[in-house]
Amino acid sequence: MTGKQFSSVWLREPRKATSPGLSREEIVNAAVALLDEEGLAGLSMRKLGAKLQAGATSLYWHVSHKDELLELVYDQVWGEMSVPEPEEAGWREAASALARSMRIVMLRHPWSADLLGRMPALGPNALQIADRLRRIFISAGFQGIDVEYAGSALTAYIYGMTTPEVAWNTVMGERQYDADEMRAQVARVVKDFPGMLERINLDAYDDPQAIRETAFDFGLTSVLDGLERRLTT
């Protein structure tokens, strides 16, 4: 029995725009802007064509369908991430920089969280980040398959911490909850749990963004400490 053939926009040479047709770069930039405005549910080839004031022919010259367009915008997001050369900065510094950059980019483009693991990351920007990630852990001293395991541990932490944050920001933005009222309601529900009530009433919770960033850095340091410990055991 033969499985379904794998396909990707990255497995063929990009087509050059036919004058006066749109370039692939213009299409991707407009798609990212539309996604930032309306999310994945708001993206369609029709809406994108209207935004670009172009017909469907100009779009389909570069992509065969919507999933190929998503592959292109997905790689565009990877291109916004930054990480220093691990051989120059040191592996922990490089890993920390990548983790923070990845979180920032995901928060900047909330829709990208829904593409993780769904879109093949075969574009040049994604491959560059993947290569840099491997080199980070090779420079740390990991060998063989452990290089991949270490990279997976780091990215799993980043995705695991950031994806719920993206979801929460989206809900808060759409529903415009009153923060003080919501805290009061939660405090009423957890009144029988003094420890939880004490944390809710901490002054630090007046700045939830600072709390999230501190929590992210705490967990990141813990993950890197654990990976470093493995190198000495």
Domain that holds residue 34: 9-78
Q: pLDDT digits over 138-153, tens only?
A: 999 999 999 999 999 9
Domain CATH code at residue 134:
1.10.357.10
Say if residue 92 is in the same domain as residue 73: no
Q: Are residues 62 and 153 in the same domain?
A: no
pLDDT at 165 > cutoff 80: yes
Do 140 and 55 lie in one domain? The reply is no
Q: Judging by beta carbons within 10 Å of its beta carbon (0-12, 13-18, 19+), is residue 111 exposed, middle or buried?
A: buried
Residue 28 pLDDT more than 80? Answer: yes
Domain boundary residue, one of 18, 46, 78: 78
Is 208 a member of any domain? Answer: yes
Give yes or no for residue 156 having a pLDDT over 60: yes
Same domain, residue pair 96 and 64: no
Side-chain half-sphere exposure of 124, counting CA atoms within 13 A? 2
pLDDT at 15: 75
| 111 shares its domain with 42 | no
| pLDDT tens digits, one per residue of 172-196 | 765 666 767 777 787 788 878 877 7
The tokens for 155 are: 């990215």
pLDDT of the residue at 200: 67
pTM, to two decimals: 0.86
Same domain? 68 vs 102: no
Residue 98 shares a structural domain with residue 63:
no
Specify whether 90 is located in the same domain as 59.
no
Q: Check pLDDT > 60 for residue 202.
A: no
- 19 and 119 housed in the same domain: no
Indicate if 210 and 130 belong to the same structural domain: yes
> Does residue 216 share a domain with residue 110?
yes
State the sign of the Cα–Cα–Cα–Cα dihedral 34, 38, 42, 47: negative
pLDDT in tens, 120-140: 899 999 999 999 999 999 999
Q: How far apart are CA 220 and CA 99, in angstroms?
A: 8
The verdict on 62 and 91 lying in the same domain is no
What is the count of structural domains for the chain? 2
Q: Is residue 4 part of a domain?
A: no
CA atoms within 13 A on the CB side of 142: 25
Would 131 be classed as within a structural domain? yes
> Which residues 6+ apart lie within 8 Å of 106 measured at CB?
112, 113, 162, 163, 166
In the structure, what pLDDT confidence band is assigned to residue 206 with cuts at 50, 70 and 90? low
Angle, helices 24-38 vs 45-52, to 10°: value is 110
Q: Using CA of residue 47, residue 25, residue 62, residue 66, what is the dihedral sign?
A: negative
Dihedrals φ, ψ of 143, to 5°? -135, 155
